[in-house]
Amino acid sequence: MSGAPHISVLLGEVLDNLSTGPGETVVDGTFGAGGYTRAILATGAKVVAFDRDPTVRRFTSDLPADRFKLVEGRFSEMDEVLGEGSVDAVALDLGVSSMQIDEAERGFSFMHDGPLDMRMGGDGPSAAELVNTADQDELARIIFVYGEERESRRIARAIVKRRAEQPFTRTLELADFVERALGGRRGAKIHPATRTFQGLRIAVNEELSELEAGLVAAERVLKTGGRLVVVTFHSLEDRIVKSFLAVRSGKVPGGSRYAPPVAAGAPASFRLLFNGAQAPTDVEAKTNPRARSAKLRAAVRTEAPVWRDAA
């Protein structure tokens, strides 16, 4: 099924930084509809793809069995599955895919009515369970920290009051309620429920802790000279990747929020391929709205040992 309903973001830049070829093994940590995987396979490399969403298997039927393997699991498990020093490159395209947003029954979108679910893998508590059971302070924290919503307390207070009379079960029901709780759109460029939905989705799928663990796992599986390429879509993700690479490349001391302290003088396990982050071109940003907030960071694995104290 090659007609994937998803446009891969920063594809050219990802391939340039991965710099893979025949005989090499690459991890696509976020398979989705397989856009990156197909482009990597076209270079002659082998791909081991990870995705916790079992529905993505429908996009694998046309892929070469001798050079492609799909692991139905989290990318943070790549080191357990593959072992240390086993791959030449790792690519991570973070966040929710456009195909998941477009499928109303998945419950990710406030633009399509569906069950209030948001689970990428179908396991664990759903967004509805979180909205209807979390206490007011915890709900406000999730919406503020993960959704970066300044009106989080106001929203949480309104949700708790309403759910006492009638629990939330549908996406449009919650989206419309949040919009009303905030006094309507008032000329806002984005839907008033955007940040609330982002916060709930990140919490339901444990996306930030998954990213932190996934970066450590990537460090372990990469060979010396192997490349790590990460595409992020919002500031929370990018901050974690930026901090991890800054610490691991020796740019800042260990012990940041996202990189536990290690022994003094631990040698850098990564070397940045470039300073800062790459962004999409104006042309890509115009043709693919999902690309507008994307940032790409990349680094190459040094011969230094894995930072053992950062498990």
**Which structural domains are found in the chain, ordered by start?**
11-99+207-310 (3.40.50.150), 105-205 (1.10.150.170)
Q: How far apart are CA 64 and CA 58, in angstroms?
A: 14
Q: For position 253, what pLDDT does the model report?
A: 59
Nearest to 93 by CA among 237, 212, 281: 237
Q: For position 257, what pLDDT does the model report?
A: 52
Q: How far apart are CA 164 and CA 32, in angstroms?
A: 37
Taking 90 as the threshold, does the pLDDT of residue 240 lie above it?
A: yes
Q: How far apart are CA 83 and CA 85, in angstroms?
A: 7
**Residue 309 pLDDT class (50, 70, 90 cuts):** low
Calculate what percentage of the chain has a pLDDT beyond 70.
87
Q: Under a CB-based contact definition with an 8 Å cutoff, are residues 270 and 219 in contact? A: yes
Q: Residue 45: how many CA atoms within 13 Å on its side-chain side?
A: 23
Q: Which residues of 238-266 are buried (b: 16+ CB within 10 A; e: fewer)?
A: bebbbbbbbbbbbeeebeeebbeebeeeb
176-219 pLDDT, tens digit per residue, is 999 999 998 776 778 999 999 999 999 999 999 999 999 999 99
Q: How wide is the angle at C-alpha 80 spanned by C-alphas 74 and 84, nearest 5°?
A: 120
Task: Write the single-letter amino acid at 165.
Answer: E
**Residue 288 pLDDT class (50, 70, 90 cuts):** confident
Taking 70 as the threshold, does the pLDDT of residue 255 lie above it?
A: no
Question: Of residues 119 and 104, which shows the higher confidence score?
Answer: 119
In residues, how long is the chain?
Answer: 311
DSSP state of 88: E
Q: For position 258, what pLDDT does the model report?
A: 46
115-167 pLDDT, tens digit per residue, is 999 898 878 899 999 999 999 999 999 999 999 999 999 999 999 999 999 99
pTM over 0.85: yes
Taking 80 as the threshold, does the pLDDT of residue 259 lie above it?
A: no
Q: For position 4, what pLDDT does the model report?
A: 43
DSSP state of 228: E
Backbone angles phi, psi at 26, to 5 degrees: -125, 140
Taking 80 as the threshold, does the pLDDT of residue 103 lie above it?
A: no
Q: How far apart are CA 141 and CA 6, in angstroms?
A: 32
